Structure 1
């Protein structure tokens, strides 16, 4: 099947009547939404004309919609090699909700993510899936894995995340599914870099104007957090105006922020020029908090997380959970949560792009007994304790969560994984696919309006 541009207007049913077609197979172009040409954007606008969120979809989605239109009421079977973004992250909720509700397609098989090499010199492999589907269902559905190769047969439905499950898709939520603390984005400066300082710039400022010390705070974005990069910022929330006036360098930076915002093409940014002493978006917690980077390498078994002091200003590339306990840390840094992340999380290239609204707010937490909760807290503290000597010796979280992960930390995480799994069920999970299938079933149970509210109010000891 060939994607037609708007001005061609060819109806494929007149070229090849559906009753003369048995299969539609293809390897459409691997073009993400940010890399589409103007012509491709026009094609997509035409094919997905009645889909409001089409602007975030990869180009391959057009083939799915065209095929779904073509096979209506028939036994035609389709299969496309596709970028794996259509089976994870926000694109799932947009594309598959549309295909299920509008065209009643059924997934017949899925070949889960594997690298697709390009023979051209200098071309990196992309991560792809193969999805087979049709208008009619089939008795046996199959899920394939490549490393190592396996084939799972099932009479049950296959979800668009390519695990056994219903047609339920995960969309954005504004509040957590369970009764747990809210996760928020950090502070957004929109300052042209004038609030932010390197250690040398901070030193120069305080050498000239030592009275400015109360106005300077440690500043941390996602990359700083993972790689232990030291930066500072001017933090002037509730600052004494008289003190600010005594600091010419600080005043100069404030003026540069004002000018930067005034020169912006965005009227919303221009409006913040009237408050040049403040970050554009302020969300700093007033207590210690659990920090989670927005972007983290897919090569890590766990997304690095840590507790930060309230005086550390977190940027908008960090997310935070205020008043988090050892229990919350333990659940979020477990293999159960990571299985959910790998399935539901969006991606930046191939790295995880963690989202509070998509990943955290939809995550189904367990209902542990007091003993199970205590076991998770103890195991979580052991993970933190295993990291301490290495962090004190100058290692970064990037160092610890790499192929050089210290054996003691590996052991601590494995113990934490077992404690968290037992809070979900007594029987151990075999692999991530089994974990995800369990979590999706639990998600459906909790999110059903007929189901009782699950998840007792989280409690636990604070972290030292």
Structure 2
């Protein structure tokens, strides 16, 4: 016996001598001794907390028995208690323990430890171990050891699911590879999938399908035996005799057309390998995996089909279905009221209008069956009700509806929901008939959820709630991925959705139109929860969706921005709303979730769940009074107007996009283009060079607006472009043709002027021409850091460029008012804010009546900030980016002090109060400036105010690119 086992054995013996199993009196000493047995100095010594406060839904506080962030939550129950009854309590505690949410959850009744990994498996523990087994089988609790030992689980179903899925995907691809019709291959795969599940979850005799496969030695036998099994599964009654004696009737939906295929020896072996898995441990998400991997990569991108984890799905199902129902169940005090809830749940309809393989609906079904069970538990409190006699059956798969454009996805969704019924029966120990499976042909529809064949809007089934995860596709990808004709039809059918809105916004808009109103008579209806790209909070996407939702409804819970689970490399937002603004029907507070950096030690522990390293993150939550259409509790600046004085003349630009690497030259290449060709060459600057360390010296070859004959007058430069750029653009134009073989318009434009930069920004260069220097910041940045650049340098497209050369403008743009406005109005690229001139700069109001002294004070404070930066950069490695990170650290900091002085000077120039909300003051000023512009009055736009006559005094000498 090892030393670890000896210590655990001593703990087991101590428990036998001293522990009776009293939850209240013995839980803390039991857990402290457990920690010590695993080599820890004790519960308190490692920083764990007994009786950790966890805020309840609505009002009140609960107390979790032990919380050790970010490692484990332990909830203790008395000896002999059925731990399965406390799953929901443990999950609710875990969900609210943010930030630093524990990686593992343990339910314990002094004799058993049930270990949960809610991040990857919500339905069941990843393992169970008894107290007596602990010395010999401590693997499931190994995360308690000080050396951070890897836990070992016997029921971690994610691995089983993926391995089993791989076998069926391989079978499906083998059938497609030898030209079996796709529809037949899909039906055969799904029917085989059901047979594999059936023999392991008690719908078929144990090993029935496996033994059948053992008898398949030839293609003909596979055709006859497997095909006949599917026929019997589609035949009402129970097969009376013969080879298939005892096979029950499954249904006339999935098996309506029994699939018969002559399998090769290799394909039969794949099915035998699949049958060796314990399919009772395979999670329903296998269907999503099969769905994704059976589609070719291009189709998956085109329709935005992505796997979603259960914990992410609960971010929609929880607020939209579970919490409203749980509140009603808990507040109902009479037997009659509970009976009315049973009647209501029977007619409750859930719709997912982009259902994919049905995972959202599966989890919604599972949660509704648990809600049904909790209604019966409440009814059991009345003496006139025998809680053991539970017919159930009020919630069935027929409560759920789905739409998807992919036929295979729809069939998968049906299978998922059919299995959900049997799995719920087993989990809840309820007396319902598992067979025949529900025929869901009337509930799930294949088709475009947005546009009907006659170009009208597609009708959706009526539903009480709408949930789902619509396709992720940015506005710029709609035409390349879905085709010009489709996009034209889409925009004709939805003219009120801006053309630059993301694809998912159309689902938000349609849901807002069709969702019933939540009323006092029926407070359970009118709820919705959808996942969208994080851009739904911004600009055109917000106008098309969340603005409309918030006009008549209320967002009650949201995730502002997080990386999404699965293969999709996207950042998303989640909005859960109710179609009412009646405060009596809404929760007292709203919940807003937001992304934070992982707690120390959390990132390493997350990897044990199999998660991708680039998706490691944590969410924190705060209860707020309101959530606006930007999915924020801050002042809503969505109503800010674009100001003509900011956009005309244009001042803010995106930098130059070369379009081909050959246009960007090294120092050695620049020398080659000497003499008369030197006029085509200019220094070139990219974002990293402004923010990072010593820049690389780059140059830009730019023919400007010269036509091909004028460009030909520069022979070396022209030959360089013809040899390097022209072949690449010809290849791109040829490979990028549409389905009809036509060259796409942007490829045609680039090919017609192949010697020119993709976007040379002639308008920007014209605006910069009279200036000695100009301002830039990175276009994608969490903190805009502004710098002056010498006018001789051409800025790259990673830079946001401002045709402003004065110190006053630098001070205003680098100050807190502009910083806060930027974060309130920016769009986002994945998790990082992006400077968009239309939404940020064009709406930003400048000080309207600053005095000459106030203008000078801002300019001087701005120069002071740059002076502190220049001094610090002489000794700090990493450039401006590293320097500004010091602002997030505690302690005195000259740069922080310089910025505080600048902010004070800018607030004085605005006439703003530091005690009032800054965004509120800016929004009011935006409205006032817009009103004066509309009435023809003069205003102060960007730059030095026109009343300040000595402008050149404000143009100092410092700039990037100067000695």
Tell me the TM-score normalized by structure 2. Answer: 0.39
User: How far 1:64 moved relative to its partner?
Assistant: 2.4
2:512 to 65, 68, 84: 68
Does residue 413 in structure 1 map to residue 413 in structure 2? no
Match of 2:850 among 369, 392, 395: 369
Counterpart mapping for 1:414-429 below 5 A: 414-428=900-914
Per the TM alignment, residue 381 of structure 1 is displaced from its structure 2 partner at its CA by 0.9
CA-to-partner distance for each residue in 1:222-268, whole Å, 9 max, x for gaps? 344333343112245599x9x99997643422434773587245222
Q: 2:701 aligns with which of 234, 239, 251?
A: 234
Match of 1:162 among 608, 613, 632: 632
Q: How far 1:399 sits from its partner (Å)?
A: 2.9
Q: Aligned match of 2:828 in 347, 351, 360?
A: 347
1:2 to 352, 357, 379: 352
Q: Aligned match of 2:838 in 350, 357, 362?
A: 357
Q: Judge which range, 347-356 or 435-444, deviates more.
A: 435-444
Paired with 1:440 and 1:306, the residues of 2 have a C-alpha distance of 26
Change (3 A) 1:332 1:200: same
- Find the counterpart in structure 1 of residue 542 from structure 2: 92
Q: Is the 8 A contact 1:221 1:314 kept in 2?
A: yes
- 1:448 CA displacement: 3.9
The corresponding residue for 2:552 is: 105
Alpha-carbon distance in structure 2 between the residues aligned to 1:57 and 1:10: 22
* Per-residue CA distance 1:356-403 (angstroms, 9 max, x = gap): 222111112232521332222121111111122345667533333335
8 Å Cα contact 1:297-1:351 kept in structure 2? yes
Is this contact kept in 1: 2:774–2:801, CA < 8 A?
yes
1:196 maps onto 2:664 in alignment: yes
Output the CA distance in 2 between the equivalents of 1:411 and 1:54: 44
Q: Find the aligned partners of 1:338 and 1:27 in 2 and give their Cα distance.
A: 35
Can you list the C-alpha shifts for 1:116-161, whole angstroms capped at 9, x where unaligned? 775x7x998945354524254547885655577544437xx94545
1:378-389 alignment, distance < 5 Å? 378-389=860-871
Counterpart-to-counterpart distance in 1, 2:511 and 2:711: 63
Structure 1 pair 133/395, CA: closer, same or farther in 2 (3 Å)? same
Is the aligned partner of 1:186 residue 2:660? no
Question: Any conservation in 2 of the 1:58–1:86 contact (CA below 8 Å)?
Answer: yes
Alpha-carbon distance between aligned partners in 1 of 2:789 and 2:637, rounded to the nearest angstrom: 39
Give 1:182 deviation, angstroms: 1.9
Q: Could you tell me how far apart the structure 2 residues matched to 1:199 and 1:390 are? A: 29
Contact 1:186 / 1:314 at 8 angstroms: preserved in 2? Answer: yes
Report the Cα distance in structure 2 between the residues aligned to 1:413 and 1:112, rounded to whole angstroms: 31
Q: 2:460 aligns with which of 5, 8, 11?
A: 11
1:400 corresponding residue in structure 2: 883
Distance 1:116 1:436 in 2: 28
Does the Cα contact within 8 Å between 2:820 and 2:919 map onto a contact in 1? yes
Distance 1:200 1:124, change over 3 A: same
User: Which one has the bigger helix percentage?
Assistant: 2
CA contact (8 A) 1:257 1:276 kept: no
Partner residue of 1:31 out of 466, 472, 476: 472
**Aligned pairs, how many?**
435
Structure of greater Rg: 2
Further displaced range: 306-315 or 281-290? 281-290
Q: Could you tell me how far apart the structure 1 residues matched to 2:829 and 2:758 are?
A: 29
| Secondary structure of 1:311 counterpart | coil
Distance in 2, matches of 1:11 and 1:233, equals 54
CA–CA distance in structure 1, aligned partners of residues 866 and 460 of structure 2: 61
The within-5 A match list for 1:112-191 is: 113=560, 115=562, 118=565, 126=571, 128-138=573-583, 144-145=591-592, 150-153=622-625, 158-160=628-630, 162-163=632-633, 169=639, 173=642, 175-177=644-646, 182-190=651-659
Higher strand share: 1
**Distance verdict in 2 for CA 1:329–1:436, change over 3 Å:** same
Per-residue Cα deviation, 1:12-40 (whole angstroms, up to 9, x for no partner): 22xx4xxxx4xx3646358343799979x
List per-residue Cα deviations over 1:414-446 (Å, max 9, x = no partner). Answer: 22223223444543257xxx4334333332333
Q: Distance in 1 between matches of 2:553 and 2:352?
A: 22
Preserved CA contact (<8 Å) 2:750 2:758: no
Q: What is the DSSP-based 3-state SS (H/G/I as helix, E as strand, rest coil) of the residue aligned with 2:843?
A: coil
**1:12 aligns to what SS in structure 2?**
coil
Quote the offset at 1:177 in angstroms. Answer: 4.6
Residue range with higher mean Cα deviation, 281-290 or 342-351: 281-290
Evaluate the alpha carbon distance shift between residue 123 and residue 456 of structure 1 in structure 2; reply closer, same or farther with a 3 A threshold. Answer: closer
* Counterpart residue number, 1:290: 774
The within-5 A match list for 1:274-313 is 280-282=760-762, 283-284=764-765, 285-286=768-769, 287-293=771-777, 295-298=779-782, 302-313=783-794
**Contact (CA 8 Å) 1:90, 1:358: kept in 2 or not?**
no
Deviation at 1:2, TM superposition (A): 0.7
In structure 2, C-alpha distance between the alignment counterparts of 1:410 and 1:177, rounded to whole Å = 29
Cα separation, 1, equivalents of 2:921 and 2:629 = 13
Q: 2: distance between equivalents of 1:216 and 1:294?
A: 23
Aligned to 1:439: 922
The residue that corresponds to 2:751 in the other structure is: 270
1:330 aligns with: 811
Question: 1:188-243: per-residue Cα shift (whole Å, max 9, x none)?
Answer: 434x322211234335x27xx5775554321123344333343112245599x9x9
How many angstroms apart in 1 are the aligned matches of 2:553 and 2:632? 12
Measured after TM superposition, the shift of residue 68 of structure 1 is 1.5
Measured in 1, the distance between the counterparts of 2:831 and 2:847 equals 29
Measured against aligned partners, the alpha-carbon deviations of 1:328-353 in whole angstroms (never above 9, x if no partner) come to 11121222212222221111112222
Shift of residue 114 of structure 1?
5.5
Displacement of 1:46: 6.5
The alpha carbon displacement at 1:5 in A equals 3.7
Give 1:307 shift: 1.0
Name 1:78's counterpart in structure 2.
Answer: 527
